[in-house]
Amino acid sequence: MHTGAMKTREQLRMLILAVLERQPEHGYAIAQAIKARSEGLLTAREGSLYPALHALEAEGLVESEEHDVGGRVRREYRLTEKGKGVLAKARKEWEKQVRAVGAVIGGQS
């Protein structure tokens, strides 16, 4: 997988859904979770994170609501049932790809 900035839009979308599977989060926390869970190898820049969140919301995979936190308005995103289904399907596809690559480069004779 590409290190540094997110390589593809689709990867970023799946990472966002995976983060939201645990609990609802606001945008900055989603970016921090992606970075922390990947031990800094994957980053989600603001310029790509928010458009991805808006697209996921438009497709009904996430929903959001605004909360007042200490006088500041924060938008919190949560995974929908439809989003859970899409994530489960993407996870199976990813595992299939990992197995296929492992079968080729695994180093076993």
Name the residue range of residue 65's domain: 4-105
Q: pLDDT by residue (tens digit) across 33-80?
A: 999 999 999 998 889 999 999 999 999 999 999 988 888 999 999 999
For the domain that residue 68 is a member of, what is the CATH number? Answer: 1.10.10.10
Domains identified in the chain, total number: 1
What is the per-residue pLDDT for 90? 92
Place of tokens 């697209």: 55
**Through-space distance between the first and last CA atoms of the chain, rounded to whole angstroms:** 24
